[in-house]
Amino acid sequence: MKNSDFSPRWIALATGLIVCLIYVLGAKVALAQNQPPPATPSNEVRIVGSDGSPVPFATVINRNNGSAVSADVLGNATLPQNSPQDTLVVKSIGYMDLVVPARRGVPNVLRMVNDPVAIETVQIVSEEKSFDMAALSASVQSLSPAAVEPVKRIETPETAAELLWSTGSVLVQQSQQGGGSPIIRGFEANRILLVVDGVRMNNAIYRSGHLQNAITIDPNVLEQTEVILGPNSVVYGSDALGGVIHYRTRTPRFQTYEWRTRMSTAYRSQNQGTRLHADVEYGGNRWATLTSVTASRFGDLRMGSWRPHGDANWGLDTLYAARVAGQDSMMVNEDPALQVGSGYDQIDVLQKFRYRSQIGLWGLNVQFSTSSNIPRYDLSAEFSGGQLKWAEWDYGPQQRFLAALNYSLYAQRLAGIQFNATLAYQDISEERIQRRFGSDWRESSRESVGVWSGNVTASRRFRHRTTISAGADFAINDVVSMAERTNLLTSSIEAISTRYPSGGSEMNMFGAFATVRSDIHSKGLLTAGLRYNSASLRAQFLPDANYDLPFESIDSRKGAWTGGLAMQWRASKAWRFNTNLSSGFRHPNIDDVGKVREKGGYVIVPNDSLRPEYLYSAEQGLTWNLGGRGLMELDATGFVTLWKDAIVPVNASLAGDIMMWIDGDSARVQTHMNASTALLRGARLSMRAQLFPRISLEGAVNWTYGQETESDTPLGHIPPTFGRIALDYEHKWMTWVLHSNFSGFKPLERFAPESVDNPDLTLASGSPRWWTLNLEGRFRLSDGFELRVGARNLLDMHYRVFASGISAPGRGFHASAHLMF
C-alpha cells in the first residue's frame, strides 16, 4: 500500500493493544469465576447449548398468550410468563425446539439440543430491529417472530444469490448465469452491504451497476442468511443504504466427541447442473473443526417455451460466435431456447477452527472460492457492422479468499459483558477478457484487491432491561489494476489502458458507534444509535495514450455522522406498532472516482470531487396477530426515503470532447457526480397463517417507487411489484412446498435514462409481468439420510427478471440426496 497514513507498524501496534485489552478483561473474568454468582430473579433465565455455551438471541414464546421475547447476546432472557399454567417454547436456528410444560417450573438455565440436520433458512429482519443485531459478532442470531420471518426452502440453491429469491422481498438481477445482483428497496450493488460471518465483503471496487459477488458464497455450508431491510449504517457503516445481506456459515460445535460427515449430490435439468458437496466436523471439549468442499458445474441454461408476453423471438439465442480453424465464425444455434455459452464451473472451500480457553473463545475462519471463466451472456448477441460484436467477452476466474480470526469473551460473572473482536484479510481477484469478432487481439484487464479489516464490539445488559453496546471498526483497501492485450497469432503482448487508476489506489475507512436498547414497561422496546465514520481515498494516474485527464492524482478525506431511533410498541396481544427513523451514508469508492468503463454507448471517466451520499428514512410498521396466538399474522410496512447527493452518471466532456474512442467504438463521455436528490417510497405486505395443523400459508409482496426530485426522471434499479407466496405441508418425515414467485409489468418510460436498467434487453413496451409455479418435496428417510425433489417453472413460462440480460430457467426438475454419518 503506497503513501498510506496507516502503515503496517501502526496496524501491528493497534492490534497488540487490542490483544492486551482482551487478556486484561480475561484475567478479570477468571478472578470473577471464584466469586458467587449474583442472584437471579425468578423470571430471568439463561439459555445455553449442549456444550454450555450461550445461545445468543434465542426466542422464548408463551404459547398461551402469544407473547415473545428475545435473549441477549449472552443468552439471558426475561421470561414472558404470566402464570404457572403457561407453556413456553424456546427456539433458535440450529437447535431443536425446547418446550417447558405448564406447572413444571422453569429452571434458571435452559439447555437446548443441537439439531442434527442442517436447515438452510433465510430471515427477513425489519429495519426497526436492526440495532439489536451484534452485527460485528460471529454469533448466530435469531430474533423474535415479530421481527424475523424464517422462510421455508427445500431445494438447496445453486448459488447464494438464488437463495434470496425465497424471501419474497429481494429481487435478483442476472447479466449471466454466473451472477446474481440483489435489489432491496430500489438499491443495488455497492449500495447494499454484503457480509459473511461478520466480515464486510464490499470493497473499494464494488461498482454501482449490477454486481455478481454474492455467488462466491457457498450455499451448501450456510446455516442462516439475514436480509435486513432499510439503511443500517449505524452498526454496519458505509454502503448499507438499501439494506444488509448477512450470510452466516455453519460453526463447528464443541463436545460432540465424534467425527460427523455430511455428503450431498444434486442435479438440475434446466442447465444439466451437477453439484458434489462434502464436509467433516469434529468437536471436543476445547477444540472443534469443520472442513467443507463443494464442486459445482453449470451447463448452458434452457429458457421457457410458453410466451404469454406475445413476442415470439425475444431472448432466443439464434447465433453464437465460435473459433473455427483459426477464424471467427457466426454459428447458427439449432436449438434457440438453449442459451449457448452460459455455463461455468465453481469450487468452494471452507475451513473453521474453534478453541475454547479459560478466558474466551477463539475462532479461525478460512474461505476460498474460484470459478472458471464466466461468459458475459448479455453481451453475446450485440451486433456491430452487420456481424456479432464480440468473439469473446468473459469474466475471468472470480476468486475470493478470506481469513478471519475472531475472539469472543463471555464475561458471565461480570453483569453480562459481551466482548467480540475480529481481524480479517481478504484477497479478491477479478478479470475481464474481451476480443472483438474478427480480431486477433485479446484484451485482458485484471484487478486485485487486498483488504485488511477489523472490528471490536462490547455490550452490557443492565438489570433494568437496558443494553448498551459500543464498537469500532476499520477497513484498508489496496487496489492494483493491470491491463494488456495479446495477439493470438504471434503471442506478442502490449500494455493498454487500465480500468482503475494505473498508478495504484487505496481506500481506508474507520468508524465508531454506540447503541442503547431499553424495554418500556414490558410493552415496548426503544433503540437508539449513533455512528461516526471517516474515509480517505488516494489514486494515482499514469500518463495514458488514449485519454488525458485534467488531474494526475486524487487525494480525498471525508467524514460522516449517522444515527437512528426505533420504537416497537405492543398495544395488545394482537396489535404491534413499529416506528423507525434512520439515516445512512456511502462514501465514494475507487470505482466511483477512478473508473474508465464503456457500456451501452456511454463511457465513464474519473472525477476527483465526489462527496458521500446520504439517506434519511422514515418507516412505519403495523402487525396484526389473529387472537394473539400466532395462527395468522399480517405485517404491513411503509417507508419514505430522501436520498441526497446521490452519485449518478451525468454527461460530461474530456479535454473539450464529448465523445471518446474506446473498445473499437465511439462513446458519449460521462462522469459520476453528486448531482441528484431523489425520493423513494414503498411498502411491503407479508402474511403467515397456520391454516391446519400441518398446512401453513406464507407470502410477501413489495412495491417501490423512486424519482429524482430535480429532473423528475425515474431512478434506476427500481423493480416492478414483486413477491412470493407459498403453501407448506409438513409431516413427521416429509415436507411439501408449493410456491410461486411473481413480478408485475414495468413500462419502458419508468426505466432510468441511458443504459442503467438495460432497456435494450427487454421488450419495446417494457419489462413484462411473469409468474412461476414450483413444487418441492423433502423426505427424511432416516436420521442420516434425506432426499429432496422438485419441479420449477411447471408452466414453462419464458421470462426475464427486470434489468436482466439472460432468460430465466424454463421447466425443469431437480433432485438431491443428503447423507450424514
3-state secondary structure of 589: coil
pLDDT for 405-415, tens place per residue? Answer: 999 987 666 65
Q: Cα–Cα distance between 665 and 85 in angstroms, integer? A: 77
Q: Are 409 and 358 in contact (CB under 8 A)?
A: no
pLDDT of residue 255: 81
**Following CA atoms 397, 398, 401, 402 in sequence, which dihedral angle do they give, to the nearest 10 degrees?**
-170
Neighbouring C-beta atoms of residue 351, cutoff 10 Å: 15
User: Of the given ranges (411-415, 456-460, 535-539, 709-713), which has the lowest mean pLDDT?
Assistant: 411-415
C-alpha to C-alpha distance for 547 and 595, rounded to whole angstroms: 13
The pLDDT value given to residue 120: 47
Give the lowest-confidence range in 9-23, 187-201, 485-499, 795-809: 9-23
| pLDDT at residue number 38 | 38
Please give the pLDDT value at position 638.
96
Over the stretch 665-693, which tens digit does the pLDDT of each residue have? 788 898 999 987 999 999 999 999 989 98
- Reported pTM: 0.86
Whole-number mean pLDDT of the chain? 85
Dump the DSSP string for 672-732: EEEEEEEEEEEEEEEEEEEEETTEEEEEEEEEEEEEETTT--BPTT---SEEEEEEEEE-S
Contacts of 126 (CB under 8 A, 6+ apart): 147, 229, 230, 578, 621, 635, 637
pLDDT confidence of residue 85: 63
Residue pair 680/185 in contact by the 8 Å Cβ criterion: yes
* Residue 602 in grid coordinates: 456511454
Say whether pLDDT at 257 is over 50.
yes
DSSP 229-278: ES--HHHH-TT-SSEEEEEEE----SS--SEEEEEEEEEETTTTEEEEEE
Angle at 689 between CA 688 and CA 695, to 5 degrees: 120
pLDDT at residue 16 greater than cutoff 80: no
| Alpha helices in 247-372, H assignment, sequence order | none
Cα distance between the two ends of the chain: 47
CB atoms within 10 A of CB 22: 17
Please report the pLDDT score of residue 35 as a whole number.
40
Residue count of the chain: 821
pLDDT of residue 365: 98
3-state secondary structure of 411: strand
What is the rounded average pLDDT of the residues 750-770?
A: 93
Contacting residues for 537 by C-beta, under 8 A, at least 6 apart: 204, 505, 506, 507, 508, 554, 555, 556, 557, 587, 588, 589, 590, 593
Residue 24 dihedral angles phi and psi, to the nearest 5°: -65, -45
DSSP lists the bridge partners of residue 452 as 425, 476
How many Cβ atoms from other residues are within 10 Å of residue 203's Cβ?
25
Q: Which three cell numbers stand for residue 73?
A: 447476546
Residue 27 has pLDDT above 60, yes or no: no
More confident residue, 597 or 184: 184
pLDDT above 80 (res 78): no
Q: What cell numbers appear for 253 in the block?
A: 460445535
pLDDT tens per residue across span 360-405: 899 999 999 999 999 999 999 999 888 999 999 999 999 999 999 9
Find the farthest-apart pair of alpha carbons in the chain and give their distance in angstroms, rounded: 85
Q: Output the pLDDT for position 57.
A: 67
State the average pLDDT over residues 599-614: 88
Domains along the sequence of the chain with CATH:
8-35+116-670+677-820 (2.40.170.20), 44-111 (2.60.40)
Average pLDDT over residues 459-488: 91
Q: How distant, in Å, are the alpha carbons of 115, 239, 296, 408 from that of 290?
A: 16, 31, 20, 18
What is the spatial distance between Cα 203 and Cα 194, in angstroms, rounded to a whole number?
Answer: 10
Q: How many CA atoms lie within 13 A of 246 on its CB side?
A: 29
Express each pLDDT in 540-557 by its tens digit: 999 887 888 889 999 999
In angstroms, rounded to a whole number, what is the distance separating the alpha carbons of residues 408 and 417? 11
> 602 pLDDT band (50/70/90 cuts)?
confident
Q: Binning pLDDT at 50, 70 and 90, where does residue 20 land?
A: very low
Query: What residues form DSSP beta bridges with 161?
Result: none
The CA-atom distances, in angstroms, between 684 and each of 170, 189, 722 are: 11, 21, 10
In the structure grid, which three cell numbers stand for residue 274, read together? 451437477
Q: Nearest Cα to 686, choosing from 719, 744, 726, 730?
A: 726
* 3-class secondary-structure state, position 312: coil
Q: Provide the pLDDT for residue 414.
A: 60
Percent of the chain with pLDDT over 90: 61
**How far is CA 273 from its chain centroid?**
23
DSSP H stretches of helix in 553-682 = 590-594
> Between these two residues, 359 and 178, which has the higher pLDDT value?
178
To the nearest whole percent, how much of the chain has pLDDT over 70? Answer: 85
Nearest to 251 by CA among 175, 364, 174: 364
pLDDT tier for residue 574 given thresholds of 50, 70 and 90: confident
pLDDT > 60? residue 5: no
| Alpha-carbon distance values, 115 to 63, 98, 102, 604 (Å) | 22, 11, 24, 51
| 3 state SS of 66 | coil
Grid cell, residue 310, equals: 406475445
777: phi then psi, degrees, rounded to nearest 5: -135, 145
User: According to the model, what pLDDT value does residue 346 have?
Assistant: 97
Mean pLDDT of 188-209: 94
